[in-house]
Structure 1
């Protein structure tokens, strides 16, 4: 049994991660970590996350210790940086699903991987990671005379846009085409005066309601269009993938890994 700690355990995704850790046959929720000032500290986790009874209680994130096998973090970037420091101090491997990271924050993540093994992915769904491979096949196979667009939709509470998953898909396409994603990504056409270039990847975003996550990559040519779509109906999809990644990374050497490594999709 792998002992898992969940950072941000009282958050929208944190609760689902706790539930997934409790329900997995090969894992157990060792500790549910929240901010030091949180009023939930000391209270049992079960009633808060709407899950079966458990002896685990909420604890301060600073109480993370080396008895934990792996820590999972889907919090915001600032919290993630603090949690990385705690994990390094205790030599606890991490599974990180934080999105919207800046270049500086990504650099911090890469530096931390020199001291502990880390799985980082913008999306832990098995289906999305298969989609990442499929869009690369499409980008390599289809002719150069094609328009590439990515659409994503999420609930109204999501902060970053485009989503980290949409960018992951776009970066996979750019890699397959031999493009520099930073040069070909197009986020706004409101000031464009000409027609669309076929040397770009366009992004469009929807925010509304309770949409868990939808992503579509469009490959549009004259006379035909290929659409590759993934729709998530439950956050549990991502949580189960994260727990699977935690079991995988437990005994790995220090380094930065992805869900593609976990699923052996390379």
Structure 2
């Protein structure tokens, strides 16, 4: 089996360091390159590979290596466009993209193999396939709500995973989440409408990621919860995606559902 070369973006950060560690420990991978912001360049000294603060320089020195990126929307778009131009596949786990940024990401994917998932957990993505069946089985008498909990440094809200879960259950009702989501309730707002899907975000401590979907019906409720115990859950999913993406072509934005199917 050929070894999969990978480049880790933000390798000095928590997720980047986790990804780099997995790449160094797994014989299926070779840590080919690492990239970090200029102010954090010193954190790269620990790695014995191509390293630097210029993504273009590092990508060019590691032709064909799969880039893995969990940074920020603006940075990830630069990664995607540059990767497509240079011929490097890219796995992106960044969340918080606007609708316009998602269109730009999809456009880049037409020019090269790019994989994106707001949550790289295999368990969450299996849940995305199960939830619509539960919505259909229970019918319209059940109110749908989502609560997510993350650490106190998370920048976006609701989380990308909560939005993806909301999109899945809204679509099962023939709705678009943007038309029915309710992210804030305050004051005298009146009774809950049957169509709305509430999304509550809780922030605190070092919680990696908890997501609960509530089905609140007459005389009963069902709670479906996924809890990530460590960042390795997402990192291992991204590494699996890198192996899979290595054999894919551009033309569309690849997702977890593509890989799992």
Q: Tell me the TM-score range normalised by the shorter chain.
A: over 0.9
Per-residue deviation, residues 107-139 of structure 1 (Å, max 9, x unmatched): 110110110111110000011111111211111
Aligned to 2:33: 31
Report the aligned-residue RMSD: 1.5
Give the superposition deviation at 1:91: 1.0
Aligned to 2:23: 21
Alignment partner for residue 96 of structure 2, among 75, 80, 100? Answer: 100
Contact 1:7 1:73 survives alignment (8 Å):
yes
Paired residues, number: 255
| Aligned pairs for 1:3-22 within 5 A | 3-22=5-24
Q: Which deviates the most, 245-254 or 57-66?
A: 57-66
Structure 1 residues 192, 5: closer, same or farther in 2, change over 3 A? Answer: farther
Q: Which deviates the most, 56-65 or 177-186?
A: 56-65
Distance 1:88 1:5 in 2: 14
SS in 1 for 2:7: strand
Q: Which deviates the most, 247-256 or 212-221?
A: 247-256
Aligned to 1:202: 198
Contact 2:12 2:43 survives alignment (8 Å):
no
Alignment partner for residue 119 of structure 1, among 115, 122, 125? Answer: 115
Contact 2:149 2:203 survives alignment (8 Å):
yes
Aligned to 1:179: 175
SS in 2 for 1:43: helix
Bigger share in helix = 2
SS in 2 for 1:39: helix
Give the superposition deviation at 1:23: 2.4
Contact 1:4 1:71 survives alignment (8 Å):
yes
Per-residue deviation, residues 14-53 of structure 1 (Å, max 9, x unmatched): 11111122223321211111135643276232xxxxxxxx
| Aligned pairs for 1:131-142 within 5 A | 131-142=127-138
| Aligned pairs for 1:1-266 within 5 A | 1-36=3-38, 38-40=40-42, 43-45=45-47, 55-56=48-49, 58-60=51-53, 61-63=55-57, 64-65=59-60, 67-191=63-187, 193-254=189-250, 255-264=252-261
Per-residue deviation, residues 168-204 of structure 1 (Å, max 9, x unmatched): 0000111111111110111112155311112111011
Give the superposition deviation at 1:86: 2.0
TM-score (norm 2): 0.93
Contact 2:32 2:50 survives alignment (8 Å):
no
Q: Which runs of 5+ in 1 are unaligned?
A: 46-54
SS in 1 for 2:167: helix
Structure 1 stretches of at least 4 aligned residues deviating more than 4 Å after TM superposition: none
Q: Which runs of 5+ in 2 are unaligned?
A: none
TM-score (norm 1): 0.91
Contact 1:40 1:58 survives alignment (8 Å):
no
Distance 1:202 1:123 in 2: 20
